[in-house]
Chains A and B, each alone.
Chain A
Amino acid sequence: MVLYLLVLLPLGVFLARKEASLLVRLSVFVPLLSFLLAPFLLGAAAGPFRLDGVGLFYLLLTDLIYALVALFARGYFAREEAWRFYWAGALFLASAHGAYLAHNLGMLWVFVEGSTLASALLVYHKGGARPLEATWKYLMLGSVGIAMGLIGVILVYALVGGATLDWGEVRSLVGEANPEGLKVAFALLLVGFGTKVGLFPLQAWLPDAHAEAPGPASALLSGTLLNVAFYALLRYAAIMQAAGLFPFSSSLFLTFGLLTLLFAALFLFGQKEYKRLLAYSSMEHMGLAVFALGLGLPWLALFHTLAHSVAKTLAFLAASGILSVTHAKEVGRVGGLVFHLPALGIPYVLALAALGGLPPFPLFFAEFKAVEAAMRWPGLAGLYLFGLGMAFAGLLSPMAQMGFGKGKPLRGQGLDLWILWLLLGILVILGVFPGMEVFKGLEVVLWGK
């Protein structure tokens, strides 16, 4: 029963109505409450819901990031428009909770689609021609993509004899299912959830949505929403593994992960707007996480999404801070942040360095491990390194310009910049102590070895 409560808990934010200060307090309190509550519910089950280690991991990550973003948003939004962000955010958090608690593949689909709808509201926010266009594109592409995913869910359901959609039961029944049918189903599921993860060539909505959403919303989209769809892919990868078809899904993951990496790295060059730059970087890292999954290393994929979530939340929050103090969207019109506003500039530059894969940050560790594993196929490892190098080079010049280039003195009043430093701290700790054992433990939960 408590699990149902956990799904509904985020909606408690609506109690604050349009009272700005109360909205902030509830929006921070609710995810923190569920953060504290969730570990005690590990293993609990009710109806289609159950909380296992992997679900708990993503639930905690989402709650933590959501609380920090909600707190930061207090200083970002003008009073009168804040409620839109917090209301849409509450709907989004509720559907993310639902997705991570759902142990039923049908419910998982329902909540993933729910998170698309709620996050479309986040993108739209206040309106205007460009956000409207981005939201429309997101809604249409996202819905069509996810409808393909639903056909995949239906096929899986039919393949196990229409008996159950419970993830654990499907995993144990799927060994006897028709392998050709499963391959078709998996391809459709990859198209469906891959659209939401931002895999090439289904990514068209992603840069627009992430660039046009207000900054804190972009942080939620990149740091938490992409994980929801990736989590669904993880569950289906485990099903394919149980059916003995992992080589098939592995080759698809490797291909699309690599294509996404190369495409995103190409687009990182010559991006004039820094939020668009970060959007392409999200695509790059989701491609890398899918690649890690394709290598047969779910623990590494989990670690990569964690590291990316923290680094990208930091980068988008800092970017929204930059936008609100400079009112400039283009890289070329922002400069010298490290000297003129170090409290904001230093975490931003370091976030870009982390996203570029520099040590001691955790993405370096993740990429290093992936290259190590990919060495079995030198061509694959070579392409991977080529993509990484290109992506790094694409991030380097905006980093130099915005951090150390010419610029004017700035004042960062009203923003909670300490949140950026807190995220930076988490990032460094993750980089120095990656805690591989935890993730390998989660892999066992997922893969059932």
Chain B
Amino acid sequence: MALLNTLVLAILSTGFLMVSRRSLDAIIRLYALQNILLALVSFGLAGGELHFVLAGLALFAVKGVLIPWYLFWLIDRLEVSHEVEGYLSVSLSLLLAGLLTALAFRVGEAFVLPEAPLPQGVPVALSLVLLGVLSMVSRKKAISQVLGFLALENGVFLMALSESHGLPLFVELGVALDAFAAVFLAGILIFRIKGEMGHVDTARMRSLRG
């Protein structure tokens, strides 16, 4: 259990670092690391059941390797600066992230179900969800919004692990496939936004009103 606790705390810190860093490359690497840690947690909870190990490996391949690789390829091809532009300063982001995490730990109690195999994972999962939303609303570049969404999705995944040993295998794979398709589609859209408008700044997309 001590090892699992450490892993869960490490996941929380990757979530925090993703909010505070200003370089896209660093955020993508942190995302990959977060997935490695999540895969380790799912191995730790597997209790020798083979299909858990297989699901963990498949998820690691999709979210730990394939998606980060695609994102790196995307930002190289886009030829935009790798810096994250946001509405908030680093210190303010961190302050908000701290407040949201405190909130998640406060209300997390209510979400913990009696037979949860990893109760300490629940508030961390909620924190990741809230931190993901924070990155999505506080950043201007389309690609950093995608990263925010991916962090949020990892929070949901951790929630599934903590509350009930993960969802059934075929559902888990379906969810991962959806996540990959969403990222792939977002990548295509980002290319088009760049081609059409010459920037990837969603804050400047404001022609639709009312």
Residue positions of A touching B, CB distance < 8 A: 48, 104, 106-107, 109-110, 113-114, 117, 120-121, 124, 127-130, 132-137, 139-140, 143-144, 147, 150-151, 153-155, 157-159, 161-162, 165, 178, 180-181, 184, 207-208, 211-212, 267, 271, 276
| Chain A residue with Cβ nearest B188 | A124
1/0 per position for B27-40, CB-CB distance to A under 8 A?
Answer: 00000000000000
The count of residues in chain B whose C-beta lies closer than 8 Å to any C-beta of chain A is 43
Binds A, one of B54-62, B83-91, B94-102, B113-121: B113-121
- The interface residues of chain B lying within 8 Å CB-to-CB of A153 are 167
B185 touches A (CB below 8 Å)? yes
- The interface residues of chain B lying within 8 Å CB-to-CB of A114 are 178, 181
Contact with B171, one of A107, A120, A136, A207 (Cβ below 8 angstroms): A107
- The interface residues of chain A lying within 8 Å CB-to-CB of B202 are 136
Known: A151-B159, A159-B113, A165-B167. A136 touches B193 (CB 8 A): yes
Establish whether residues B145 and A184, one from each chain, have CB atoms under 8 Å apart when the complex forms. Answer: no
Establish whether residues A128 and B196, one from each chain, have CB atoms under 8 Å apart when the complex forms. Answer: yes
| Chain B residue with Cβ nearest A141 | B136
| Chain B residue with Cβ nearest A272 | B210
Establish whether residues B159 and A154, one from each chain, have CB atoms under 8 Å apart when the complex forms. Answer: yes
- The interface residues of chain A lying within 8 Å CB-to-CB of B1 are none
Min CB gap B138→A, angstroms: 14
Residue positions of B touching A, CB distance < 8 A: 110-111, 113-116, 129, 133, 136, 142, 145, 149, 152-153, 156, 159-160, 163-165, 167-168, 170-171, 174-175, 177-178, 181-182, 185-186, 189, 192-193, 196-197, 202, 205-208, 210
9 other A-B residue contacts (CB within 8 Å) besides A129-B196, A147-B149: A113-B178, A124-B192, A140-B145, A143-B149, A151-B156, A158-B113, A178-B114, A211-B208, A212-B208
18 pairs, A vs B, C-beta closer than 8 Å: A48-B170, A106-B175, A110-B178, A113-B182, A130-B207, A132-B189, A132-B196, A132-B197, A133-B206, A136-B193, A144-B136, A147-B129, A150-B175, A155-B163, A207-B210, A208-B208, A267-B210, A276-B210
Known: A114-B178, A155-B113. A104 touches B171 (CB 8 A): yes
Min CB gap A244→B, angstroms: 19
Establish whether residues A158 and B207, one from each chain, have CB atoms under 8 Å apart when the complex forms. Answer: no
- The interface residues of chain A lying within 8 Å CB-to-CB of B114 are 178
Min CB gap B177→A, angstroms: 8
- The interface residues of chain A lying within 8 Å CB-to-CB of B210 are 207, 267, 271, 276
Establish whether residues A110 and B174, one from each chain, have CB atoms under 8 Å apart when the complex forms. Answer: yes
Min CB gap B173→A, angstroms: 9
- The interface residues of chain B lying within 8 Å CB-to-CB of A135 are 189
- The interface residues of chain B lying within 8 Å CB-to-CB of A147 are 129, 149, 152-153, 156
Min CB gap B147→A, angstroms: 12
CA distance A173 to B138 in the complex (A): 42
- The interface residues of chain B lying within 8 Å CB-to-CB of A130 are 207-208
CA distance A212 to B210 in the complex (A): 13
Establish whether residues B186 and A139, one from each chain, have CB atoms under 8 Å apart when the complex forms. Answer: yes
Min CB gap B50→A, angstroms: 18
Min CB gap A133→B, angstroms: 4
Min CB gap B142→A, angstroms: 7
| Chain B residue with Cβ nearest A137 | B208
Min CB gap A241→B, angstroms: 22
Establish whether residues A121 and B175, one from each chain, have CB atoms under 8 Å apart when the complex forms. Answer: no
Establish whether residues A158 and B185, one from each chain, have CB atoms under 8 Å apart when the complex forms. Answer: no
| Chain B residue with Cβ nearest A121 | B185
Contact with B129, one of A128, A151, A159 (Cβ below 8 angstroms): A151
